[in-house]
Chain A
């Protein structure tokens, strides 16, 4: 189905639209459930009232100061990881291509740990994580560049850099004093607890700027999936598109990691779940963003409630999701 408006046209798949609508609904449901429940349960009516600004003072405090920022951060971070994962899976033409495995997340961790050791505040840690992620990405890109960046070389170089940074991270953790090591350890598992609006805003800005970039790059990326030569023959400026896509993916995963810590496997699982739900031939950005948001907020809700009153870090749950996802991949495509 194609919608034309003047010189622009957009191809729409009805199934994808339906799935996206359903995912958005699911995201809202999870979000409202996360805001309404907890140690202090609120009726949904009060939640909605507090959100529109005329709730009781108590409900207002719990909803808009404590729970809503966490949920919104979760939604945005999940969406950012989902889009970032979709971009890298398209670039590497591999359902396992994910910023988690090619060093970017590990680089963000290195930056975060260094900031912790330097005695930084929460904002410095976020800045360190973003800087670490971008530096690592630049390093991987430069090392993989030989008259162009082929997807497989990006993956292999990234895996090497990833191994190096994991070693550096564990070295830093063994050298740090016990308090810093505990702080860094908590941040490294990935957690949404205690996140305020100041965590959510940078991710929102990044999404607002980079989602359009990613959306424009989506179509040429599909062409590149068919091979560099085929894409070039179709008029795609392969290296330019690839550089733009890498930049968008890196900045998204960097800001997301800065906000929530290195939450692994969301970027890995979201694009493939989205692809299966929409039954689209390639990875889809919009649906990936929505799946990422639902996955992360859902995992965070489960992490808070499963063993209540013990609060698990959400990273433990997403690691479980990653394992389940790999098992599924193994079972489903074996024939």
Chain B
């Protein structure tokens, strides 16, 4: 049952082959049985899930069911959910139940989706391995000793292990695409402004974007169709028409112009990963695409730029966590400063504190120009590289991550080494562009992701390009052993 596509599930639910309650129970049973190996969920909401499933079954029976009626999904624990704890992977919010739903949560609920629970993540989405979570690391379903990637590591592992039909995620520097690659699933980070950020706990406001982790581009399209669109509550939400992503999946891609940035195939890329990615690109050529080498000369600077911009924004975004109105508050503060400092030091883990400090430093008097302003200028150059490239190609392809999943603990003592994991994904966030990762041929049993980058608001094209590949290959169908 858990290997069916969302379209198939939706059809069978409508045919009453099984009910949403049965489907939901099936997933809840899998979570109870299998998740102890993965730790991919922070909260499992059995009761509310079954209630939602019952509602979906009734809606289906009465013929007014939404497109995702009865489909069990999971939300990254960064999306506020009224009634279910929203921790953001942090001790700071271990006691936080939001008084509202995020727009993305609201829209998926309105489409009839059933929420099984909230998935584990790097604390406040800061990490590339899901090891910074207050709730412990998530294990990669393909090899429990390895990381699932991050920060949407819980969503990626849960989808790969078939503990939910699909899951939401957020991507600030690669947090959907990199874990999707490392867990062998499909992930899409839409254009900045495509999905509302309302109710999505902010890490870096000019980079954060909600997206989907799913087992296929077709499944991702089903969710994105519901999630995407203008939201008056988010000033940075784009008022741009949303095409039907499912409708566009089967469009012909003959003549597709693919650009391969030479900077994405250089030093630091595991040659086995490179080979796997090149094979996938050959498959595209067989599908009629034309490939050319391009250059994104400033892209190597995306990691340094990101580690100024993202911490700067996060240092300000996370200032609201002060122990006064919600969240963790230290015991017996002796004065106001003690309340602030201990509540925050106890509530935030080491990586979050590192980034807050870096961000505080780069914005402080005397350093703003050299760091923040300089980074914003290079960000402009990086965006200009993409703009130039998209004058001559339709999509850009390359590896999602330089290596396959690395062992748990391998990079925890070296933040900079950890940061370099996102070297191929960060530039798209800086430029606000959509990106995807789809599974290609694994290396020694470990998944590899092909990244597909599009121009702004070209999600339909990306999903179509990914779907045509998945139509002729089977890499996306592989299930990790023990989770089939």
**Do A and B make up one complex?**
no
Q: Which residues of B contact A (CB under 8 A)?
A: none
